Amino acid sequence: MSIRERLSGNEAAAIAMKQINPDVVAAFPITPSTEIPQYFSTFVSNGAVDTEFVAVESEHSAMSACIGAEAAGSRAMTATSANGLSLMWEMIYIASSLRLPIVMSLVNRAVSGPLNIHNDHSDAMGVRDAGWIMLFSENNQEAYDNLLMAHRIAEHKDVLLPLMVCQDGFITSHSIENIELVEDEKVKEFVGKYKPEHYLLNRNEPMAIGPLDVQPYLFEHKYQQANAMRNAKKVIEEVSKEFEKMTGRKYSFFEEYKLDDAEIAIVCMNSTAGTTKYVVDALRAKGVKAGLLKLRMFRPFPAEEIAKALSHLKAVAVLDKSDSLNGAGGALFEDVASSMYVNNEHVPIVNYVYGIGGRDTTSYDIEGVYKDLEEIAKTGKIDNPYRYFGVRREK
């Protein structure tokens, strides 16, 4: 029997960490993720976990401490947001290239400036090529569930990559909602013990970590990293199936919501997917064949599967909660559009940048997107594929 609770997204992440009981947590507070290490530190003080909590002086040090801990052979976790992640930047790449399966809770927030503490995905998009597995979460439940699955995926011998679980700052991190928790014992059994094959504190196998890697070697190491990311797909699928057996909650690379017989669809991530479901239900009641593809696994990117899932549609809108400021499309749009093109699926596709800096994403906004899609489906015409909604601008 699962445990019926009501928790904020941050509480849910902290409880997941408590149940995982990692060896080391190193973190520095930054809004809106601050509560995660804050709650976790109380678990440490109360003896609910036996984790070594390292209260570092910056996020660069937080990631460095996680790298040291993980390389030594222990399980390490952290949490951060936006500029905290920016300060980790250097070490984010070191973590993945050293193949250290560190797990991070990333509570998505706009990267300054000007200074803004509210939600968008610019922090996550900034590390999309850093070699981390990236899972996105619609609500507190998914943030919790993704964390419970994280170590099994990251630590798998075919993967050995760090993993971040994203959720929307404030929108889910600070909203109290219903959640089903898994019993402590079941989590412990599911997550299992961390048994690294190679680690620094193994005196029988002295080794160097992160030495100079010049022209004859770096390329091969990067190629191995890329292959590990490819391998992660199969592992994510397997672990998700096992998780479903335990909880009844089904997770795939993405969720297809009323997509099978849809004619128009939105592709998006995190909490906006929930609002989109609400709108899809309302439109379906009016006979509009609207659907949703909610992406959970952004890295690795399920290109072939997405192209197939969208192939039958008459028009698709990809929503980016981060502006790539490139004069063209947002990051998610580029990935989806290239997936379609490469897999020879030619469906009219448009991009909307939205929700920047915590601008509220309303059901009316989403309805507007579906309205545009109906028009595109009818005429096949796209005047401007690079669109925005929710922004004020000069007429």
Partner 1 sequence: MIEIRWHGRGGQGAKTASLLLADAAFNTGRYIQGFPEYGPERMGAPITAYNRISTEPITIHSNIYEPDYVVVVDDTLLDSVDVTAGLKKEGAIVINTTKGADEIRPKLKNYEGEVYTIDARKISLETLGKYFPNTPMLAAIVKVSKVMTDEELLNDMEGSFKHKFAKKPEVIEGNMNALKMALNEVKKI
Return residues touching partner 1 (CB under 8 A).
6, 117-118, 138-139, 168, 170-172, 174-178, 271-272, 274-275, 277-278, 358, 360-364
Shortest Å distance, C-beta 1 to partner 1: 16
Which lies closer to partner 1 via its Cβ, residue 177 or residue 237?
A: 177
Beta carbons within 10 angstroms of residue 242's beta carbon:
13
Shortest Å distance, C-beta 70 to partner 1: 33
- Residues 54 and 26 sit within 8 Å (Cβ to Cβ): yes
Shortest Å distance, C-beta 277 to partner 1: 4
Shortest Å distance, C-beta 368 to partner 1: 13
Instruction: Supply the DSSP string of 201-249, one letter for each residue.
Output: T-TTS----S----TTTHHHHHHHHHHHHHHHHHHHHHHHHHHHHHHS-
Tell me 302's DSSP state: -
Which lies closer to partner 1 via its Cβ, residue 73 or residue 390?
A: 390
Shortest Å distance, C-beta 371 to partner 1: 17
CA–CA separation, 36 vs 26, rounded Å? Answer: 11
Shortest Å distance, C-beta 275 to partner 1: 5
CA–CA separation, 22 vs 4, rounded Å? Answer: 24
- In the three-class reduction of DSSP (H, G, I as helix; E, B as strand; rest coil), residue 316 is classed as strand
Shortest Å distance, C-beta 43 to partner 1: 18
Beta carbons within 10 angstroms of residue 304's beta carbon:
12
Which lies closer to partner 1 via its Cβ, residue 117 or residue 377?
A: 117
Give 42's contacts (C-beta < 8 A, 6+ positions apart). Answer: none
- Residues 171 and 39 sit within 8 Å (Cβ to Cβ): no
Which lies closer to partner 1 via its Cβ, residue 6 or residue 198?
A: 6
CA–CA separation, 59 vs 19, rounded Å? Answer: 24
- Letter for the amino acid at 3? I
Which lies closer to partner 1 via its Cβ, residue 70 or residue 120?
A: 120
Which lies closer to partner 1 via its Cβ, residue 84 or residue 329?
A: 84
CA–CA separation, 107 vs 172, rounded Å? Answer: 9
Tell me 98's DSSP state: T
Nearest CA to 301 among 339, 268, 265, 349? 339
Shortest Å distance, C-beta 281 to partner 1: 8
Which lies closer to partner 1 via its Cβ, residue 6 or residue 157?
A: 6
Which lies closer to partner 1 via its Cβ, residue 129 or residue 360?
A: 360
Question: Nearest 5 degrees, angle CA 89-CA 91-CA 94?
Answer: 120
